[in-house]
Amino acid sequence: MAVNHFERYALKCGFSLERNQHDYGLDGGLNTYKRNGEPEDGFIHVQFKASEHIKYDKSGTSARLSIEQAHLSGWLSEPYPVILVLYDVKIDKAYWVYVQRYFELIRGFSIDKKRKTYAVKFPVNQSIDEAAMRMFATFKHLVLQKIYGVISHV
């Protein structure tokens, strides 16, 4: 259901989701396309988590999920954006975090090999929708610009 929820918005934007047959820490890749339908360079990695028992903070402004250190370490080494999606089955709503940016913004963060899990907070105002899909494409374009000095136009 989480994948279907995400893919519905991707398709509305003219994007496509390529699902990985084997899950080695990433469930798929979001492909974006130019206005004329040509595929754009690069992709956006996506990892889905779903639950009927999402833990929200007391104020209701964020949901919380623990991530294994091994997965996080791999995601942080990816050059292209990794979007972590948390799907609340009960309310049919999904939230997202841009993993590399999320941990870049934590002052003094360093991956600790002794630590087994890390908590990730998903702001509930960062829900999966068409605007989020276009934002993911922008994240990818910024990475391409940084790596290659090229700007892809959506």
CA–CA separation, 18 and 147 (whole Å): 23
CA–CA separation, 71 and 65 (whole Å): 13
pTM for this prediction: 0.92
- What's the domain range around 27? 2-148
Is the residue at 120 inside a domain? yes
DSSP H or E segment with residue 101:
helix 99-104
3-state class of 121 per DSSP?
Answer: strand
Is the residue at 106 inside a domain? yes
From first CA to last CA, the distance across the chain in angstroms is: 28
Domain count, the chain: 1
Is the residue at 86 inside a domain? yes
Residue 119 has pLDDT above 70, yes or no: yes
Average pLDDT, the chain: 92
Is the residue at 154 inside a domain? no
| Confidence at residue 143, expressed as pLDDT on a 0 to 100 scale | 94
| Confidence at residue 122, expressed as pLDDT on a 0 to 100 scale | 98
**Inter-CA distances, 96 with 103, 112, 122, Å:** 14, 23, 6
Is the residue at 153 inside a domain? no
Q: What is the pLDDT of residues 138-154, one digit of tens each?
A: 999 999 998 887 555 54
Which domain CATH number covers 137? 3.40.1350
Residue 19 has pLDDT above 80, yes or no: yes
